[in-house]
Amino acid sequence: MSGWLIGMRRPAALLCTFALMLLSSTAYSAPNLAAGATYYGGYHTVVGHEQHNAAVAAAHPELVKLYDIGDSWTKAQGQGGHDIQALCITKLAPDDCALNSTGKKPKFVLHAQIHAREIATGEIAYQWIDLLVSSHGVDPEITELLDTRELWIVPIANPDGVDVVASNPARPLLQRKNVDDSAGECQAGYPGVDLNRNSSFRWDANQGDPCTEMYPGAKAASEPETVAIQGFLAKIFPDTKGAVDAPAAASTTGVFVTLHSYGNDILAPWGYTRTAAPDQAALVALGNKMGGFTGYPVFTGDGGIGYLTPGSTSDWLYGTRGVPSYTFEIGPRTGWCAGFLPPYSCIASTFWPLLKPALVYAAKAAATPYGQLP
Ligand SMILES: [Zn+2]
């Protein structure tokens, strides 16, 4: 992580003001700052998220640790780009929020915007961060969570892709993948690797060619973003899974939610096959509890979306660590807040009120996801 990120100290509430953006532009030189902190009515750019992450870490040192967990593809090429950032939020005690699996507090991980054009997802992560850092000692339920859980957030898993989306602020571009064009130019469609098909669990070469939306990359975990996310999750969750087709250890702790759009449903493992996961009943039971807050039904296999998803992040984490892992598809298929690019007002009016209690519940459930649910 760069020094300018850590050194910033300013009130988060002022981050979006124009005057502060001008002030910021003289304070340090980040290559993408010209894009501004927001686009399309209020959505945060990657720079906006980075400023926010740094601001909450600086303002709440008793609650927040901010990590650089790896590079975007462009940064790995030495062409600008971004660090992938992860925050850990808890009432910090010694050894809390370390990048290892020895922490005593169960972990809930919220992971967003691995598909860049699914723009509501990063905003939900942003709202979740603000809720957590503003609620300790204020809201009894969130205070209890912060005292007993590690709340990890990766707000932007695909920052290069989000830069592309936000490069047209009034009409965001529909970039889904990262921007790795090493497989060559595209006559139609966009180059890039689908990071949610690139994991090293059940990676499948036959998901599409380099110019299609689900191109899985030249090999499993070929992309630096995948290496960053897998490396991060492998550090914080112990390896207790055993064989792929064996159930998770009953003592497994943790819950993982990756946010996508759209469909108003929850996808639980497996995504790569229609065969039931060894813990399918428990995975669906917890999914149904979370879905009770959002009204989202729970599907496995190709249910809900109509196709299989080999190489996904959530299958990788459940398949290698046993951690219950879910894909939330935020947003309806029709209507004012539908699709990849809902108006920014939909975050506050529709999505956040549904997601907030589901995420609080997921964090509570991280203590005993295969035991007695809260
Ligand atoms: Zn997606």
DSSP-derived letter for residue 101 is: T
Alpha carbon of 313 to ligand 1 centroid (Å): 11
DSSP-derived letter for residue 351 is: I
Q: What is the dihedral of CA 135, 137, 141, 147, to 10 degrees?
A: 100
374 within domain boundaries: no
* Cβ-based neighbours of 155, under 8 Å, separated by 6 or more: 49, 52, 53, 85, 87, 112, 113, 122, 125, 126, 129
Residue where the block lists tokens 């951690």: 323
14 within domain boundaries: yes
92 within domain boundaries: yes
Which pLDDT value is given to residue 165? 96
139 within domain boundaries: yes
Which pLDDT value is given to residue 269? 98
287 within domain boundaries: yes
Alpha carbon of 256 to ligand 1 centroid (Å): 15
Alpha carbon of 109 to ligand 1 centroid (Å): 17
Alpha carbon of 356 to ligand 1 centroid (Å): 20
Condensed to tens digits (0 to 9), the pLDDT of residues 62-76 reads 999 999 999 999 999
Name the residue among 128, 46, 118 with its Cα closest to residue 87. Answer: 128
Alpha carbon of 57 to ligand 1 centroid (Å): 28
Rounded Cα distance between 353 and 207, Å, is 35
Residue 106 backbone class (left: φ over 0; alpha: ψ -120 to 50; beta: rest): beta
316 within domain boundaries: yes
Residues of the chain with pLDDT under 70: 1-35
Rounded Cα distance between 217 and 210, Å, is 7
- With beta carbons less than 8 A apart as the criterion, state whether 225 and 233 touch: no
373 within domain boundaries: no
371 within domain boundaries: no
Question: How many domains in the chain?
Answer: 1
User: In terms of residue numbers, what domain contains 13?
Assistant: 3-365
Judging by DSSP bridges, how do beta strands 255-260 and 325-329 pair with one another? parallel
Q: Is 76 exposed, middle or buried (0-12, 13-18, 19+ CB in 10 A)?
A: middle
Alpha carbon of 189 to ligand 1 centroid (Å): 17
Condensed to tens digits (0 to 9), the pLDDT of residues 209-226 reads 999 999 999 999 999 999
- With beta carbons less than 8 A apart as the criterion, state whether 110 and 92 touch: no
Alpha carbon of 261 to ligand 1 centroid (Å): 6
Rounded Cα distance between 174 and 261, Å, is 12
Alpha carbon of 186 to ligand 1 centroid (Å): 21
- With beta carbons less than 8 A apart as the criterion, state whether 72 and 178 touch: yes
Supply the CATH number for residue 85's domain: 3.40.630.10
Rounded Cα distance between 147 and 1, Å, is 27
Catalytic residues: 329
Q: What is the per-residue DSSP string for 11-80?
A: -GGGTT-HHHHHHHHHH---TTGGG-SEETTTEE-HHHHHHHHHHHHHH-TTTEEEEEEEE-HHHHTTSS
